[in-house]
């Protein structure tokens, strides 16, 4: 009976066609991904709606029940089905009405939600703008303190120390006195230098260049030339994306800093190996707004090395200001500076363990075509 409807003869089906072959494409997908696993797990499935395909391609909707029986040597499936063309038409009508109602309900609900969300966001925006204004004001004042108010007393300290030094040379005070004076001079020198760097860090926003198009490979070369350390020869064969729109000089500085970092903390017992790779990937554009998602293109740059790595990589705030993690560390500003540059590109930088030993820095920058 069913075979007649499907326009097949018994010989054409039995032993040569699988049940799946009789299904329409859509039904086949749903049967194989949903009903078939259910059948294997529960041993039965009730009330499956499936569409069979006749030999000439006419749809034949059926409602089926299936039972899996493991009694025989080969597991067999027993199935009963009911042709439901008329009923299906009727149901289709109900479905369409239901869909229309659901759609209207959904849209209405969506509008109400959006309205509430908009109001919430507007309040939030007001608060944030107010806060931003305050921080900006503070920022300007702080910069003045760093660049002037604090520089001046340090300059004077050095001046007076110099005057005292003259007296030491004239042998008017004791040797011990001279020793402490040298210490004081060293410290004020260090403070002044630190202050200059902090001010540079602090005023980075204002010193960013306009974005231009650069080539990552060229930028790496330029960073190597500046460093002028023969041991730094990174493998750049993994650069899959080379063209990049960014503040090219600042980003080149970041690459230089990361290369130097790998060199500075290299292992004594093996030759330094650094690789830099890049790839176009997708990530969520929203990083601060909660429950907002839009997957957009980012350039992922991975700088991997076989250096000594960083201790407690999961805990440390390696990009914090003045944080030092090695005894040989500099002033603890390099990575903070890198982070700030990447942040100003609306990107992210992370430090992770390198499975082959050493560390890896991962930079994500929005892809700007």
Partner 1 sequence: MDTLKRNNVKVIGKGDQVIMFAHGFGCDQQMWRYITPAFEDEYKLVLFDYVGCGKSDIEQYNEDRYGSLHGYAQDILDICTTLNLKNVILVGHSVSSMIGMLASIQQPYLFRSLILVCPSPCYINKSDYIGGFEEKDLQGLMEVMENNYVGWASFLAPVVMKNTERPELVQELEESFCSMDKEITGNFARVTFFSDNREDLPKVKVPSLILQCAEDDIANEKVGAYVHANLKNSVLKPMKATGHCPHMSHPKETIKYIQQYLQSENIVA
The H-or-E segment that residue 11 falls in is helix 10-13
CB of 238 to partner 1, least distance (A): 9
102 binds partner 1 (CB under 8 A): yes
Q: Residues 7, 109, 119, 205: which binds partner 1 (CB under 8 A)?
A: 109
Q: Does 362 bind partner 1 (CB under 8 A)?
A: yes
Minimum CB distance to partner 1, residue 127 (Å): 23
Q: How many residues are there in the chain?
A: 369
Residue with Cβ nearer partner 1 (209 or 284): 284
Axis crossing angle, helix 248-264 with helix 216-227, rounded to the nearest 10: 50
Beta bridge partners, 244, equal 214
Residues in 217-276 that interact with partner 1 by CB under 8 A? 240
Give 110's contacts (C-beta < 8 A, 6+ positions apart).
none
Cα separation, 326 vs 359, in Å, equals 14
> Site residues for partner 1, window 267-286 (CB under 8 A)?
279-284
**4, 11, 18, 176: residue in contact with partner 1 (rule CB under 8 A):** 18
Helical spans, DSSP H, in 145-211: 151-169, 175-202
Task: State how beta strands 295-305 and 274-284 pair.
Answer: antiparallel
Residue 19 binds partner 1 (CB under 8 A): no
**Four-point Cα dihedral 216, 218, 220, 222, nearest 10:** -140
In the complex, minimum distance from the CB of residue 360 to partner 1, in angstroms, rounded to a whole number: 7
At residue 134, the 3 state secondary structure works out as helix
Q: Is 16 in the site for partner 1 (CB under 8 A)?
A: no
In whole angstroms, the minimum distance from the beta carbon of 275 to partner 1 comes to 11
Residues near partner 1, by CB under 8 A:
18, 20, 24-30, 32-34, 36-38, 40-42, 48-51, 61, 88, 91, 94-95, 99, 102, 105-106, 109, 112, 240, 279-284, 291-295, 300, 302, 314, 352-355, 360, 362
């Amino acid at each position: 009976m069913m075979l007649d409807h499907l326009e097949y003869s018994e010989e054409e089906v039995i032993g040569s066609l699988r049940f799946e072959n009789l299904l329409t494409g859509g039904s086949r997908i749903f049967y194989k991904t949903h009903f078939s696993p259910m059948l294997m797990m529960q041993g039965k499935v009730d009330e499956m709606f499936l569409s069979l395909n006749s030999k000439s391609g006419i749809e034949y909707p059926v409602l089926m029940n299936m039972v899996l029986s493991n009694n025989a040597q080969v597991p067999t499936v027993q199935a009963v089905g009911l042709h439901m063309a008329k009923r299906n038409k009727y149901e289709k009508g109900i479905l369409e009405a239901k869909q229309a109602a659901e759609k209207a309900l959904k849209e209405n609900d969506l509008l109400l939600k959006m309205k509430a969300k908009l109001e919430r966001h507007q309040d939030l925006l007001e608060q944030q703008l107010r806060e931003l204004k305050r921080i900006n004001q503070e920022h300007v004042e702080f910069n003045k303190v760093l660049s002037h108010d604090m520089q001046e007393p340090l300059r004077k300290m050095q001046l007076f120390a110099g005057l005292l030094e003259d007296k030491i040379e004239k042998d008017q005070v004791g040797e011990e006195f001279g020793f402490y004076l040298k210490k004081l001079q060293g410290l004020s020198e260090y403070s002044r230098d630190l202050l200059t760097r902090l001010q540079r860090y602090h005023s980075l926003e204002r010193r960013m260049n306009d974005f231009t198009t650069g080539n990552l490979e060229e930028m790496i070369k330029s960073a190597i030339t500046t460093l002028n350390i023969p041991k730094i020869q990174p493998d750049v064969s993994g650069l899959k994306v080379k063209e990049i729109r960014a503040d090219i000089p600042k980003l080149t500085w970041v690459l230089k800093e990361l290369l130097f970092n790998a060199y500075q903390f290299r292992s004594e017992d093996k030759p330094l190996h650094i690789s830099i790779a890049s790839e176009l990937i997708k990530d969520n554009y929203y990083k601060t707004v909660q429950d907002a998602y839009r997957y957009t293109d980012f350039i992922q740059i991975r700088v991997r090395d076989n250096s000594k790595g960083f201790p407690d990589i999961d805990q440390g705030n390696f990009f914090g200001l003045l944080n030092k993690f090695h005894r040989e560390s500099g002033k603890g500003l390099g990575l903070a500076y890198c982070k700030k540059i990447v942040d100003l590109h609306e990107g992210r930088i992370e430090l992770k363990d390198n499975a082959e030993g050493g560390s890896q820095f991962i930079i994500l920058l929005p892809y700007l075509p």
